[in-house]
Structure 1
Amino acid sequence: MPRYRYRAINEGGEIVKGEITALHEADLQAQLRASGLSLIRFSTVRRRALRLASLPTRELINLLFHMQMLLRAGVPLIGALQDLRDGADSLELRQVAASLMDRIQNGSTLADAMAQDPGIFTDVMVHLVRSGEITGQLAEVLGELVRSLKWQAELAAQTKKLLMYPAFVTVTISGVVVFLMVYLVPQLVSFIRNMGQEIPLQTRLLIWLSEAFVGYWWLILPTPVALVVGVALAARANEQLRFKLHQAVLAIPAVGPVIKKIILARLMDSFALMYRTGIPVIEALGYCEKITSNLPVQRALARARERIANGTSISDAFAMENLFPSLVVRMLRVGEATGALDEALANVSYFFTRDIDESIGRVQALIEPVLTVVLGLILGWIMLAVLGPIYDTISKIRA
């Protein structure tokens, strides 16, 4: 399928440039017209494989949901992709659909076509789709992928909700402190020095900090950012350091257990999905290792997978790792005994999801007063250091 570089005009009269894959010139005009664009001129780009770096989760869900619905309605896969290519609102989504359609028409399966865009479709998605194609349950697999992606998007939103408030308050406190040290404190310090009395220790310390901020603000302000970037680069280069940092994240009071539950909930849901679609346990656990970026969890899964490969039961293999709560082990044991391992894993995921909502509420309720107290202590110390000498001077005058 050829690829075109176009120049068009939108409904607002603005010039729009871009590239798009289309069957021919008429198809190019139809796709642009569906986006509210009128073609001015175009040229053919030298043929190359379409490689989008990524696709927003919402668009990916739309793609999979659209294919699932049309496949269930009896529409052939090519027809489903063509309908999406011609009717989708997103230009990126139309490009992906056109690319998949082109590859399938050239003899690829859907899984093989998806595998050529690793930035959009993960290895787990490709493997699940391949399993669905082999078993004739592609529509069901796509439906499970849609459900899983929606659930993971909700988990990501919960994680942001957990971290955004502390980050916002921390930035606010830092801004207040910088303002006090750079603008307000220097004005009060000059007045305190002119009183001619001995300056107490806390006031001298405040003066020293204020002068440091005024004189070296260009060094102090970027230091936290540089430190974070430096640690991130060092962790990327050193796996052992990265392991220690990931371990420290899980050990953060109040926040760490919630992050751990989010990681385990996603793992159990993915494990259940792969087991339900017929992927062997050993292979499914191997993909689960790739899903999480937390090294302690990765290594624990790798050890459990190795034990299972050597004949240990799934529940016993997980029980030997302290990282997995007893709930996970008990449900795995029940799933093995009843032959419904996927349902047991789904129950674990459901329990963690419910617990995550409550835990985030508790953490936020705890963080708010703690950060308020911290801000109060900082402001109280500054006021004490500034007003203390003034109060002493007034007391001596009255005496």
Structure 2
Amino acid sequence: MPEAARSDLIPFDYAARDAAGGRKKGRITARDDTDAAKRLRAEGLYPIEIRAARPASVAKEKPRRVSGQMSARQRAAFVSRLAKLTGSQISLDRALAIMADGDDGAIAGRAGALRVHMREGGGFADGLQQHLGLDDAATQALVRGAEISGDMADALATAAGILEQRLMLTRRIMTGLLYPSLLLVVAIISVGLIMIAIIPQFRPLVEDRMDAIPVLGRAIFAISATLTAIWPILVGGMLIGGFALWILHRRGRAVPILQTFSARLPVISGVIVRNQVMIVLYILAAMLRREVTLSEALRVVTNTAPGGRVRAAVDQVSSEVETGQPLSSSLRAANIMPSAAVEMIRIGEETGDLPGMIGRAAAEMRETADRELERFLALFQPALIVIVGLLVGVSLYALFSAIVSVNAISF
């Protein structure tokens, strides 16, 4: 097959100078702009400008129309599929063409738009941000580095792994809290019905003898009267809050808000922080394996880390490392991970295998975090059932004790 007919070659318009200093313009086919520059130098030319040409076939190519934003799951699936295709020795342009012909409308449409964007001379990292909304600092750093080094398949595989790790964390927490959340909603509705619909029916029996009722009974009737008066406001507020949460979910902002709120709860904050630190270590190991300097990798991790305690700690570690402090001692001072993980990182510094030992520390922290999350959910669900039972039981006990007290006085 002639070289110009190969599907992995695309045309580039160039401006260059020859050995005599004369300016020359033309078109050359190559795999990418780096390959085009090598080909021009082989012909005795010195490139000044190289830009992807827009053939007539591209002018007629129209990507599928897509609407709305991609979810985090769709972005991870997009990067993962692209990593598998480019890892099979398929060019990036051809991989996007294959994905654009797929059945998944959201992914296919973005793949087609991204392919046209690149053929018109746009950068791949910029296209990911523009067409997929993928502005994750770690992914952008990996892709931009690969645009220079040329090992895009490995960079995409690493980025896909990072995105999957984040999805797994969110999925574990959300799935584990789904049943307790439903149970809590049912409990609130049940107690609300008792307070609003049942207890007021007994109020006429005790209205004239409220002073003879036990304190608990008076408190229940007072709460019931308050809820009966304001329940439309409460229901309206819950509906508005649910609608606002749905809007935020559509815009991809609900999960970060819920994660921030959950991280402030004293019971589960430790579990969430340990999972967040595990992801930070995973990203740091992946960046260091890509031969990124430790300082640059820490800056990327700082931009990627969730807000709050973890980001503040990583920012502190980054500042100390830039002043010459060892990573292990900075992490120990930040107090965001177990001492065993810090010791493994210190061994990596001494043996020269820092990326490998950080990866092992992240894997062990993941196992520990999974055990802690399972233990928390195993205890939280029964505890919530007991609390709900106590609320209902106390309400009914207070009601019937009040009725019994009134009847005892009557006789």
TM over 0.5: yes
Corresponding residue number in structure 1 for 2:218: 204
Corresponding residue number in structure 1 for 2:336: 323
1:76 and 1:219 map into 2 onto residues whose CA distance is 59
Listed as ranges, the matches of 1:49-198 within 5 Å are: 54-85=69-100, 87-117=101-131, 119-193=133-207, 198=212
CA spacing shift, 1:52–1:355, aligned 2, 3 Å: farther
Q: Is the 8 A contact 2:177 2:377 kept in 1?
A: no
CA spacing shift, 1:72–1:219, aligned 2, 3 Å: closer
Corresponding residue number in structure 1 for 2:391: 378
TM-score (ref. length: structure 1): 0.75
2:269 aligns with one of 232, 247, 256: 256
When the two chains are superposed, the root-mean-square deviation of aligned CA atoms in Å is 3.2
1:118 and 1:286 map into 2 onto residues whose CA distance is 23
**Aligned-pair distance for 1:312?**
0.8
2:347 aligns with one of 334, 337, 342: 334
1:54 and 1:123 map into 2 onto residues whose CA distance is 18
2:152 and 2:403 map into 1 onto residues whose CA distance is 78
Q: Is the 8 A contact 1:258 1:356 kept in 2?
A: yes
Number of residue equivalences: 341
- Partner deviation per Cα, 1:328-361 (whole Å, 9 max, x = no partner): 3212211111222222121122122222222222
- Partner deviation per Cα, 1:233-284 (whole Å, 9 max, x = no partner): xxxxxxxxxxxx96x9556444121111111111111111111112221111
2:314 aligns with one of 282, 292, 301: 301
Q: Is the 8 A contact 1:132 1:277 kept in 2?
A: no
CA spacing shift, 1:310–1:52, aligned 2, 3 Å: farther
CA spacing shift, 1:345–1:176, aligned 2, 3 Å: same
2:124 and 2:240 map into 1 onto residues whose CA distance is 45
- Partner deviation per Cα, 1:94-149 (whole Å, 9 max, x = no partner): 23222222232233342343344472242321210122233332111212222232
Corresponding residue number in structure 2 for 1:37: none
1:51 and 1:305 map into 2 onto residues whose CA distance is 40
Q: Is the 8 A contact 2:66 2:106 kept in 1?
A: no
CA spacing shift, 1:75–1:216, aligned 2, 3 Å: closer
2:238 and 2:90 map into 1 onto residues whose CA distance is 56
1:307 and 1:187 map into 2 onto residues whose CA distance is 67
CA spacing shift, 1:113–1:172, aligned 2, 3 Å: same
Gaps of 5+ in 1: 1-21, 33-49, 231-244
Write the letter of the residue equivalent to 1:74. Q
Q: Is the 8 A contact 2:332 2:342 kept in 1?
A: yes
Q: Is the 8 A contact 1:53 1:120 kept in 2?
A: no
1:361 aligns with one of 374, 377, 381: 374
Aligned-residue sequence identity (percent) comes to 21
SS of residue matched to 2:334: coil
Q: Is the 8 A contact 2:277 2:336 kept in 1?
A: no
Q: Does 1:269 align with 2:282?
A: yes
Corresponding residue number in structure 2 for 1:219: 233
Write the letter of the residue equivalent to 2:180. P
Q: Is the 8 A contact 1:71 1:80 kept in 2?
A: yes
1:53 and 1:342 map into 2 onto residues whose CA distance is 38
CA spacing shift, 1:383–1:61, aligned 2, 3 Å: closer
2:296 and 2:131 map into 1 onto residues whose CA distance is 22
